[in-house]
Structures are given as structure tokens and as C-alpha cells.
Amino acid sequence: MNFDAMFEEQLQALKDEGNYRYFKELERKCGKFPRAANHEDGQKRDVTVWCSNDYLGMGQHPSVVAAMCEAVQRTGTGAGGTRNISGTNHDHLLLEAELADLHGKEAALLFTSGYVSNWAALSTLGSRLPDCVILSDSGNHASMIEGIRHSRARKVIWQHNDVADLEAKLAALPANVPKIVAFESVYSMDGDICPMKEIVEVAEKYGAMTYLDEVHAVGLYGPRGGGVSEREGLAHRITLIEGTLGKAYGVVGGYITGSAALCDFIRSFASGFIFTTALPPAVAAAARTSIRHLKESSDERMQQRRQVARLRAALDREGIPHMHNDSHIVPVMIKDPVKTRMLADYLMDEWGIYVQPINYPTVPKGTERLRFTPSPLHTDADIDHLVNALRTLWRQCAIAHAVA
């Protein structure tokens, strides 16, 4: 068997359709966000990053950096084991208490990433609750889809953000089976926000538990950064809130929050929690500092909103098609994988602007895009430079000016 030939064949198919992924080799520069060096062909060149999910630049905030350094000096680099066998550190418990408080819940549980938290929590709930049915929004993230699949529970997909469809599907299920409604607050590729109150009300009507992914909202929405559920005053009505420490909080890791019984249940049965080395305590310490900072300070959120609005207004003036939404995510639609890559390459090579082309399977075919995430640290001059570049490319490449 020539395994490499089999691998190459499938990779070639990806390349032929323009969906092969090329990674940029960045070297982030602490204190210079959103500037980074791009390594290419043995050269190193400064670029402005326009697609970071370190949405507020907290990964380089002096207090977060200091907290991580202090904790490394105090505790060393790694956790020393799984949470079960010598790996549970004081910093983990402090962080879990901080997270429970953030969402107004009894308890929280840490995971090594947001992906793992979704995968582990949903697969445990779906497999351990007898006859459980999981009702999953059709736009849900791969980590939720994989968790549900792994649970082998019955899955019912409802149309994206369509509460009437959700209700019809809930109504069709037997009253006495456990049901979980799984959805996100901010959908990361289109930047749209779910009708949370309506979803919660329908779920309550049918006695379903609610599972909310706030990965693209924690730190960013709500007066203390508790996400859209905090902003809408709904957190107490949601059974489980899941989030990440790797995006707006600028570190790494994932978590769930909920009742003490729910978190103890996942802690006790989820293999993705039990059988893996715990996060380094220094990561936990840095994440806690970041969360505490964003609980107190709204400056970053307000400045981010200003820059998002400024970019959108400039794109509108130029007639550059971008998806309208109420979030901080600005998708500029290209609708062709090859053109999307070409534009991203031009932006990098000619303008020192890094934006990753977003292609299938991250988004459906025909909806390829450039996804911009303005931060509080992008200056007005950065925005002018980006829009100037896009204006020039739109002219050169004859890309449609229609609004998406």
C-alpha cells in the first residue's frame, strides 16, 4: 500500500478546488498588537493582523503577561498531571470560581480548549442521559457537532436561528425524553447573534435544557464581559454556558459553567476532562487576570465597538460588500475560493495586511470571504490603510460592489 500516494491524491483534490489551507508563519510582538512579523521565504516582514481572535489584544495586556510570568516563577511550567492525578492546582480552582461568578452560576469546569469543552460536555450529556435528544442549530461549530455525534444520542437539526422551526421540532418529540437545545450566541463566520430570549422561552416551554456556546462573546458583550446572555439578562435561565479563554481573554483553554450537580457530573464522566493533562497553572492565572480586568473595564469593549463601526462605515462609503450583523465580526464577501486567496495574498504582499481567506469547509462553498476583526488597538490610520487597499484591489480585480 502506498499510503503517501493516497494522502497526496486527497490533498491534490483540495488544491484543485482552491480549498487547501496555507498557514502564515507569524511571530507576534508583545506590546505591539496588532503588529506581528510574518516569516516567508526566509524573510521576516512586519504586518498588521486583521483576523485575530485575540479580539481585544488581551494576550499582550501588561497585567495578563505579568500574571503568567509570576505564576511560572511560582509554580513552574506544567500542571504536573491530569486533574485527577496530581494536576489540580490552586490556580485552576481560583479560575473556576472566577468563571462561575462571571456567568452567575454555582460552578465551572475547565478544559484544555473550547473545542474540548464542547466535545466532552455534549458527548457526556448525550450519552449518559437516557434517551436524550439533542436539538442542534444548523450553524453550530464543529466541536459541538463532533460532541453530539460522539454521544450517539438522537440528533435533530433545526434551521439556523429559526425559533419556529425549533419549536416545531420540540413539539414533535415525546414529552418525557430529556432534550437539549444546543446553540451559539455569536456565530463566528457570519457574525450574527441568536434570538436568545425566544430560544430560551421555547426551550423552557418544552422542558428542554439549554446549552449555549458563548465562545465569540465572552469578554466582549455584557457589562462584565459575561457574553450575550449577560447583556440580555438571560444567563440565569440557561442551563449550561460554555466559553473559551483563547479568544477575547487572549490565553488558551475552555470551560463550562452551570449548576454544581451539572459540573460534577461532567467532571466525573467526561473522558475529555479526566484523561488529559490539566492546563498549566500559569495559563489559569493569566486567564483569571484577563477575566477580572474585563469584568471591571469596559474601555476595551467600547473602543472595539468604535473601530468596528468605523470600518463598516468606510466599507459602506466604498461600496465594498460586507455582511451586516450586530457583532464585532466584519465578513467581506468574495464568494469564490481562488479570488479570496488571491486577494488575501495581495493584501499581504503589497499592503502588509494579513487577513486569512475563509474557505470551505469553514463556510459553505460559494460564500468564501475575508473576515476582519477590528480590535481596540487598530488605529484609525490602520483602518484607512485597509480600506485604501481594498478600494484599490476592488478596482484592479473588478469585484462586484453589490451588498451581500
Ligand X SMILES: Cc1ncc(COP(=O)(O)O)c(C=O)c1O
* Candidate list 19, 52, 118, 136; residue touching ligand X; CB under 6 A: 118
Q: At what angle do helices 380-397 and 337-351 cross, to 10 degrees?
A: 130
Q: What are the φ and ψ backbone dihedral angles of 181, each rounded to 5 degrees?
A: -100, 115
Q: Does 221 bind ligand X (CB under 6 A)?
A: no
* Candidate list 113, 151, 239, 340; residue touching ligand X; CB under 6 A: 113
Dist. CA 96–CA 115, nearest whole Å: 18
* Candidate list 213, 230, 300, 382; residue touching ligand X; CB under 6 A: 213
109-117, 310-318, 330-338, 376-384 -> range binding ligand X (CB under 6 A): 109-117
80-88, 107-115, 338-346, 351-359 -> range binding ligand X (CB under 6 A): 107-115
DSSP for 104-171, written as a single string: T-SEEEEESSHHHHHHHHHHHHHHHSTT-EEEEETT--HHHHHHHHHHT-EEEEE-TT-HHHHHHHHH
Dist. CA 130–CA 135, nearest whole Å: 15
Considering the candidates 155, 197, 247, 295, report the single residue annotated as catalytic. Answer: 247
Site residue total, ligand X (CB under 6 A): 14
Minimum CB separation of residue 2 from ligand X in Å reads 34
Q: Does 272 bind ligand X (CB under 6 A)?
A: no
Minimum CB separation of residue 288 from ligand X in Å reads 16
Minimum CB separation of residue 127 from ligand X in Å reads 20
Report the DSSP pairing between strands 330-333 and 254-258.
Answer: unpaired
Minimum CB separation of residue 162 from ligand X in Å reads 18
Q: Does 89 bind ligand X (CB under 6 A)?
A: no
Distance of CA 54 to the CA centre of its chain: 10
Q: Output 185 or 321, the one with its CB closest to ligand X.
A: 185
* Candidate list 75, 244, 327, 373; residue touching ligand X; CB under 6 A: 244
Return the residues of window 128-187 that contact ligand X according to CB under 6 A: 141, 143, 184
DSSP for 314-342, written as a single string: HHHHHT--B---SSS-EEEE---HHHHHH
Active site residue 205: no
Strand partners, 193: 186
Q: Does 115 bind ligand X (CB under 6 A)?
A: yes
Label residue 53 exposed, middle or buried (CB < 10 Å: 0-12, 13-18, 19+).
middle
Dist. CA 379–CA 43, nearest whole Å: 26
**For the chain, what's the residue count?**
404
Q: Does 215 bind ligand X (CB under 6 A)?
A: yes
Kindly report whether the peptide bond that precedes residue 361 is cis, defined as omega within 30 degrees of 0.
Answer: yes
60-68, 213-221, 264-272, 313-321 -> range binding ligand X (CB under 6 A): 213-221
**Residue of this chain nearest to ligand X (CB atom):** 114
Kindly report whether the peptide bond that precedes residue 178 is cis, defined as omega within 30 degrees of 0.
Answer: no
Q: Does 246 bind ligand X (CB under 6 A)?
A: yes
Return the residues of window 179-208 that contact ligand X according to CB under 6 A: 184, 188
Work out the angle at residue 202's Cα, subtended by the Cα atoms of residues 209 and 135, and round it to the nearest 5 degrees. Answer: 50
Distance of CA 63 to the CA centre of its chain: 23
Minimum CB separation of residue 271 from ligand X in Å reads 17
Q: Does 337 bind ligand X (CB under 6 A)?
A: no
* Candidate list 114, 147, 281, 321; residue touching ligand X; CB under 6 A: 114
Question: Which spans of this chain sit near ligand X (rule: CB under 6 A)?
Answer: 113-115, 118, 141, 143, 184, 188, 213, 215-216, 244, 246, 254
Write out the catalytic residue numbers: 247
